[in-house]
């Protein structure tokens, strides 16, 4: 307000909360859709886990362990892909609502904008994954006797940062091409699913796909989380998967913000911020 | 120092098949502190691009844009704090209520809920907007009510420069009058400088200190309404603003609003 001058950092914090609160309000308004999505995700995780149960009839020896392996993959992919999707849909969602120009002419910075989106996605994703895990826990005899839950959470936290950076890079696509940008980000998401070893070991893939897997944060997150949950690996053992995630976080987040800045400048030069493009 | 100063602003857009559209052609204008300047022009004349350039949503190819002496191209964050915009489309999250949209809009400008709530109450009372309707989703409100909320949202951040891009286009007569009364209030009580783009001649004549006519990205004239009309007087008869507009642009009012951008 006029005459009510706050320090810049405080104004930005208020704006971060604004984005988080807005997304919470939207979740409330679309509550039935959220329920439908939660049911879908949970049933999907269960169906994938049953593949493990059915594998016994094909000669698999340790079905319980295989089921746990698949469930961890399904849950982590649900969480990580949701995080990626929320970030990558930042622009296209606002363009669809028609609010993008209002948001982009506000004085809150783009870092604040994306931080708010990322923070909400992490909290929402954790809650959704916890509900799905709870439901699956009731249904299956999972082999989690050795699980190091804190280790798995550490891997997940580090991966979330690098995936936020990855998502920010994808978020720029609708700025470059209002019509096709979002579709390209779905392709990126599907490639991550294919190469990152969500439901199988990366070793089974052709060599070139394994090479792509080395730059996917999801690959390291899955390996680390499985080591922690299935083998009970401690932080020392998990380090082999944590350090690539740390490096990716350090590289992808600033890179994402830089690419987004370039994309925003391009959209402002060419007039592509406008809803009709 | 003027609230707004544009000097030689140019903007072209490349369309498909390599066609280049010149949206702003060496535009220069100023808006003084507390002044209301209206820009009249047919659709596609460059009014919306002008507003987008000032509001930092479009980068000009050349020229200078200054808001209270600050270069808007080099320091966009600085000038964004001092201005707000209301456009012809209601830019809201339509599933959210008016109150939720207002609180969100305020936070983007660093205004907390605790600071915003009493101000929202006061603004809504002033514009005759029933408090209980503020909790309804925006999509349940009429266009006129949505536009009032858009003006309230802009006012909530106490802008010293308001950019109004056809705020009454498409509204029914009653809503139009209400919104115009609100704009008058902003001018009189809140001491804001206003740039008003419109193709409503009566609105421009009643609300604006000076009126400009824009065609094909150029501002043909920018004067006080009476001076502008006198400029197009024939045989000693001073025309109406509508006749002045037709004489200057070659468009009738109907054509001006029907022409597609």
Could you tell me the maximum CA-CA distance found in chain A, to the nearest angstrom?
A: 74
Strands B218-223 and B70-71: unpaired
pLDDT at position B182: 83
- Amino acid B126: pLDDT: 81
- Mean pLDDT in residue range B12-22: 87
Q: In the prediction, which pLDDT does B113 show?
A: 95
Choose among B28, B65, B61: nearest CA to B214. B28
pLDDT in tens, A184-228: 888 989 999 999 999 999 999 999 999 999 999 999 999 999 999
Is residue A116's pLDDT more than 70?
A: yes
pLDDT tier at B13, thresholds 50, 70, 90: very high
At residue B26, the pLDDT reads 95
Contact B210, B222 (CB under 8 A): yes
Residue A276 confidence (pLDDT) above 70: no
Q: Give the up-direction half-sphere exposure of residue A42: CA atoms within 13 A in the CB hemisphere.
A: 20
Residue B258 pLDDT = 64
Mean confidence (pLDDT) of chain A = 90
For residue A196, the 8-state DSSP code is T
pLDDT number for residue A4: 57
Binary contact (A99, B93; C-beta < 8 A): yes
Q: Which helix (H) or strand (E) holds B219?
A: strand B218-223
pLDDT at site A1? 46
Taking 90 as the threshold, does the pLDDT of residue A93 lie above it?
A: no
Res B131 pLDDT > 70: yes
Contact list, A97 vs chain B (CB under 8 Å): 92-94
Interface of A with B (CB under 8 A): 1-4, 6, 10-12, 14-15, 17-18, 21-22, 25-26, 29-30, 97-99, 101-109, 265, 268-271, 273-275
In whole angstroms, give the CA distance from residue A267 to residue A181: 12
Local confidence band at A265 (pLDDT 50, 70, 90 cut-offs): very high
- In this prediction, residue A2 carries a pLDDT of 52
Average pLDDT value for residue range B113-128 = 90
Phi, psi of A140 (to 5 degrees): -115, 150
Interface of B with A in 180-199 (CB under 8 A): none
Instruction: Give which of A3, A17, A107 to mutate to test B binding, by max B Cβ within 10 Å.
Output: A107
Average pLDDT over chain B, rounded to whole?
90
- The DSSP output letter for B18 is G
Exposure string of B158-170, with b = 16+ CB inside 10 Å and e = fewer, is: bbbbbbbbbbbbe
Q: Taking a C-beta distance cutoff of 8 angstroms, is the pair B62, B5 a contact? A: no
pLDDT attached to residue B261: 44
Return the CA Rg of chain B.
Answer: 18
CA triple B67-B69-B75, angle to 5 deg: 65
From the list B49, B100, B115, which residue is nearest A1 (CB)?
B115
The three-state secondary structure class of B142 is coil
Q: Hey, are the CB atoms on A108 and B59 less than 8 Å from each other?
A: no
Say whether pLDDT at B259 is over 70. no
pTM for this model (two decimals): 0.88
Q: pLDDT of B62-110, one tens digit each?
A: 999 999 999 999 999 999 999 999 988 878 999 999 999 999 999 999 9
ipTM reported for the complex, 2 dp: 0.88
B110/A10 CB distance under 8 A: yes
Q: Which residues pair with B223 in a beta bridge?
A: B211
> Closest Cα partner for A241 from A166, A159, A148, A122?
A159
Strand-pairing partners, residue B65, are B6
Most confidently predicted of A3-12, B5-14, B183-192: B5-14
For residue A277, name the pLDDT band (cuts at 50, 70, 90).
very low
């Amino acid at each position: 307000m006029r005459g009510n001058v706050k320090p810049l950092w405080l104004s930005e914090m208020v704006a971060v909360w604004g984005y988080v609160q807005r997304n919470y309000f939207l979740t409330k308004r679309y509550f039935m859709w959220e329920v439908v999505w939660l049911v879908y995700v949970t049933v999907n995780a269960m169906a994938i886990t049953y593949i493990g149960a059915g594998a016994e009839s094909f000669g698999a020896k340790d079905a319980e362990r295989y089921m746990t392996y698949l469930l961890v993959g399904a849950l982590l992919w649900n969480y990580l892909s949701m995080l990626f999707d929320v970030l990558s849909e930042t622009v296209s969602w606002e363009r669809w609502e028609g609010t993008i120009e209002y948001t982009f002419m506000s004085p809150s910075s783009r870092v604040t904008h994306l931080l708010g989106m990322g923070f909400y996605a992490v909290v929402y994703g954790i809650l959704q994954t916890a509900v799905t895990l709870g439901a699956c826990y009731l249904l299956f005899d999972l082999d989690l006797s050795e699980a190091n839950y804190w280790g798995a959470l550490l891997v997940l936290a580090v991966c979330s940062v690098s995936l936020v950076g990855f998502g920010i890079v994808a978020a720029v696509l609708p700025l470059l091409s209002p019509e096709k940008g979002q579709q390209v980000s779905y392709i990126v998401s599907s490639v991550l699913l294919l190469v990152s070893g969500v439901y199988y070991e990366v070793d089974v893939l052709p060599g070139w796909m394994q090479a792509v897997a080395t730059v996917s944060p999801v690959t390291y997150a899955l390996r680390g989380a499985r080591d922690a949950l299935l083998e009970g690996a401690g932080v020392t053992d998990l380090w082999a998967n944590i350090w690539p995630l740390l490096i990716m976080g350090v590289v992808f987040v600033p890179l994402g913000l830089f690419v987004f800045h370039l994309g925003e400048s391009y959209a402002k030069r060419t007039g592509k911020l406008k809803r009709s493009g | 120092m003027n609230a707004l100063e544009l000097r030689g602003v140019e903007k072209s857009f490349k369309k498909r098949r390599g066609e280049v559209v010149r949206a702003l052609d060496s535009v220069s204008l100023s808006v003084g502190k507390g002044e209301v300047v209206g820009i009249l022009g047919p659709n596609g004349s460059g009014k919306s691009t002008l507003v987008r350039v000032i509001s930092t949503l479009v980068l000009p190819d050349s020229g200078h844009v200054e808001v209270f002496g600050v270069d808007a191209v080099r320091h966009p964050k600085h000038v964004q704090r001092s201005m707000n915009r209301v456009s012809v489309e209601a830019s809201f999250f339509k599933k959210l209520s008016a109150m939720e949209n207002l609180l969100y809009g305020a936070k983007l400008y660093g205004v907390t809920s605790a600071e915003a709530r009493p101000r929202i109450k006061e603004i809504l009372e002033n514009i005759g907007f029933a408090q209980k309707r503020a909790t309804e989703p925006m999509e349940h409100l009429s266009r006129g009510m949505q536009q009032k909320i858009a003006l309230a949202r802009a006012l909530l951040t106490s802008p010293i420069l308001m950019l109004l891009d056809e705020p009454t286009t498409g509204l029914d007569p009653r809503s139009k009058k209400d919104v115009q009364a609100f704009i008058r209030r902003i001018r009189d009580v809140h001491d804001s400088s206003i740039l008003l783009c419109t193709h409503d001649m009566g609105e421009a004549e009643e609300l604006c200190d000076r009126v400009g006519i824009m065609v094909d990205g150029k501002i043909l004239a920018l004067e006080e309404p009476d001076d502008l009309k006198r400029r197009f007087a024939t045989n000693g008869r001073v025309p109406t603003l509508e006749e002045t507009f037709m004489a200057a642009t070659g468009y009738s009012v109907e054509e001006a609003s029907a022409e597609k951008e």
